[in-house]
Chain A
Amino acid sequence: MFAYCADPKSLEGLQWLSCYLTSGSHMSFYASFLTVLVLLAVTAPVALAFGYAGAMAGRSGAAPLRWLGKGYMAMVRGIPDVVFFLFFVVALDQGLEYVLHFARCSDWAEPVRQGLEFRVCPAAKIPPNNAPQVVHQIYGFALAVLTFAIVFGAFAANVLTGAMKAVPRAQLETAESYGMNNRQINRRILVPQMWIYALPGLSNLWMILIKATPLLFILGVQDIVYWAQQLGSMKTQAYSYPHPDWRLGYFLSLLVFYLCMTKASELVLDRITARLSRGQAIVKQSGASA
């Protein structure tokens, strides 16, 4: 970064620190904070879409669709999310490759499951074996986003179902009496009104999503936890910047980062709630902001 950083072993004090904190791996560390923010920005709308689809399916008139929606909503209540995170990434990966295997290599003779191993033909590998490292990383990140979206979509579906039930029945009956069909009622009356009821639950969900982001580490993405562990562990004289075990410091900085994120979100969400409740004839829900 700086010109005097060429020989880090000769440096001391503040100069050493400034070089240390701007080294290449530290830049990756700072970039991984961006990864977390990107994950939040991408996952939140995708999860909301999943949740919306789930809630709509749960209200559907067709029984199989309704069961699907209800089952989707029920699964998160009984099963720890960590199990989903471990399961979905491998399951999605293997599932995609399995489908491609049948599409591309129909003449492949060997079975896919050979005893303990999962083998698909080379053409079905995602991403291809010879793909650059970046593609592998992006694929891993996309799988992570999808997993997050599935799990948090189930939560969002729960929230949205509750919100739909909270819209006063009289509103829908009025719409019916005006001769609207089910679809029109949904689009013009139900959906526009449900958001204010969904807001406390959704802001809750946002907070939980923030606090779930370190689980990226479990999914094998090089996120802030990964880098904190890498950078914090003891470095011998073989490294340019030898130092003792500083993991505590790195993890404490992550802790502070998350506390700041939580506090900032709290302030913003409070303002949004205040703004949206203006002129609304509903009492502020006290229990929902737990």
Chain B
Amino acid sequence: MSCLDTIHSYAFRSLGYGERLLPREGFDLCQHVTLIGSGLILNVYFAIVALAAGFILATALAVGKTSRHALIRKPCEWFIFLFRGSPLFIQFFVAYQLLVMLPRAGITVPLGLFELTLNTNWITRAWAGAAIVLFLNTSAYTAEIFVGALRTVPRGDMEAAAAYGFTGWRRFRRIQWPTMMRLAWPAYTNEAIFLLHATTLVFFSGFPAFQQRGDALYYASYFAGKTFNPFIAYPIVAVYFIILTLFITWVFGLVGRYLNRHLPTNERQRRRPRLLPQIIR
């Protein structure tokens, strides 16, 4: 089987397209790179879904945590503590056990004249369940970053906003939020990188790989298990992730420059995302 054939059969294996069975012989470099790359699609999917949805929830949580009303503040604090204080690994297990408890046949919601049946089959699959856990987890971490940024929004900015008659939602939307984003951006870049790295934990999360559609680590460990040789499969995963990390750094760097475009720049002292070692939660 030539390399092109391999790519043709396995490039989208993780999405369920192509050859049904995983390769049983050969295990050449091409198969490694293709299948692991195919699994990487899932990792990227998890990262994008969790980051995009988490961004919105995190903003809400951050505003909630800085609220003056204890009724709003306390739940936000507890949510953030729960997800930042416990390991993601355990969160995956607990979430899986909780989701499995949902009735198989679906939940029937009586809506007066007709009944709505919510299908619950899909939620214990990795693509949905693990994404939900990652989403909640990254929301908590991002919220903490945003809270820190919200608290360091310069007082003068807020006073100026008040002087111009900005209040409430408009003040938040036009003054607080943009500054918060600008201040939080280097730390948020780190969070994005570490979230991408955290997607590898999905492999161990208990969410089964349906029809052998797994993430990058799933295929890497398949190869490592078949060949008893970890020196090829795992370095390939590592190289893929280094490339993705560089890509994230680049994209977030562009956005960061856009956010800071009105400020005097000093190219020699660029704000680069510092390493906040937050790789595991």
Contacts and interface: CB of A to CB of B under 8 A. Distances in A.
The 9 A-B pairs of least Cβ separation, nearest first, read A80-B197, A78-B242, A248-B97, A262-B85, A87-B234, A155-B277, A211-B87, A90-B230, A214-B89
Contacts of B145: 290
A43 interface: no
Which of B90, B196, B227 has most A Cβ within 10 Å? B90
A287 B280 contact: no
Contacts of A212: 87, 280
Interface in A87-141: 87, 90-91, 94, 113, 116-118
Interface string A224-252: 01001000000000000000000110011
Interface string A197-232: 000010011001011111101100000010010000
A80 B86 contact: no
A286 interface: yes
B211 interface: no
A210 B280 CA distance: 9
B132 interface: no
A258 interface: yes
B32 to A, nearest CB: 14
B183 to A, nearest CB: 9
Nearest to B273: A77
A191 interface: no
Contact of A204 (B81, B200, B231, B277): B277
Nearest to A159: B277
Interface residues of A, number: 49
B242 A76 contact: no
A201 B190 CA distance: 15
A90 to B, nearest CB: 4
What does DSSP make chain A's interface, helix, strand, loop or mixed? Answer: helix
Contacts of A76: 277, 279
B246 A78 contact: yes
B90 A83 contact: no
A37 interface: no
Contacts of A155: 277, 279
A6 interface: no
Given A208-B278, A218-B204, A247-B97, A258 B245 contact: no
Contact of B197 (A81, A91, A211, A214): A81
Interface in A255-287: 255, 258-259, 262-263, 286-287
A171 B101 CA distance: 62
A212 B238 CA distance: 19
Nearest to B228: A118
B248 to A, nearest CB: 10
B245 A81 contact: no
Contacts of B84: 262
Interface in A28-82: 76-82
30 contacts: A77-B245, A77-B275, A78-B238, A78-B242, A79-B238, A80-B196, A81-B197, A83-B238, A86-B217, A87-B230, A90-B224, A90-B230, A116-B27, A116-B228, A118-B229, A201-B277, A210-B87, A217-B89, A218-B204, A225-B89, A228-B93, A247-B93, A251-B90, A251-B94, A254-B93, A255-B94, A258-B90, A259-B82, A263-B85, A290-B144
B81 A287 contact: no
Contacts of A287: 148, 187
Contacts, number: 139
Nearest to B193: A77
A176 B87 CA distance: 46
Contacts of A211: 86-88, 280-281
Contact of B241 (A79, A116, A251, A252): A79
Contact of B187 (A210, A255, A290): A290
B90 A254 contact: yes
B105 interface: no
B174 interface: no
B91 interface: yes
Contacts of A147: none
Nearest to B93: A251
Contact of B280 (A87, A208, A259, A288): A208
A226 to B, nearest CB: 12
Which of A215, A251, A262, A286 has most B Cβ within 10 Å? A251
Given A91-B231, A255-B91, 4 more contacts: A81-B279, A214-B89, A214-B90, A262-B84
Contacts of A247: 93, 97
A214 B87 contact: yes
B120 interface: no
Interface in B222-277: 224, 226-231, 234-235, 237-238, 241-242, 245-246, 274-277
Contacts of B221: 86
